[in-house]
Chain A
Amino acid sequence: MVDGAGAVTIEVPAQAEYVAVLRAAAAVIASRLEFSLDDIDDLRILIDEAASVLLTSGAEGSLRCVIEAGGETIRFRIQAEVPDAETSPEEGFAWSILRALAHEVTSEPDPGGRVIGVVRHRGPVLDSAL
Chain B
Amino acid sequence: MELKISQRVVGSTVVVAPSGEIDLASADQLRGGLVTAESNVDTGMVIDLRGVAFIDSTGIGELVACQRRCRDAGVDLAFVVPDGTIRKILHVTGMDAVFDMHHEESAAVASVTSSG
Q: Which residues of A contact B (CB under 8 A)?
A: 16-17, 19-20, 23, 38, 41, 44-45, 48-49, 52, 55-56, 92-94, 96-97, 100-101, 126, 129-130
Pick from A16, A19, A23, A96: contact of B92, CB below 8 A. A96
Residue among B21, B24, B94 with the highest chain A CB neighbour number at 10 A: B24
* Interface majority SS (helix, strand, loop, mixed), chain A: helix
Asked if A52 contacts B88 (CB within 8 A), the reply is no
Bound Cα distance from A20 to B85, whole angstroms: 17
* Residues of chain B at interface, number, CB under 8 A: 20
B66 CB to nearest A CB, Å: 15
Bound Cα distance from A23 to B24, whole angstroms: 12
Asked if B56 is at the interface of the complex by the 8 Å CB criterion, the answer is yes
Asked if B71 is at the interface of the complex by the 8 Å CB criterion, the answer is no
Scoring B residues 41 to 59 as 1 if CB is less than 8 Å from chain A, else 0, what string do you get? 0000000000000101110
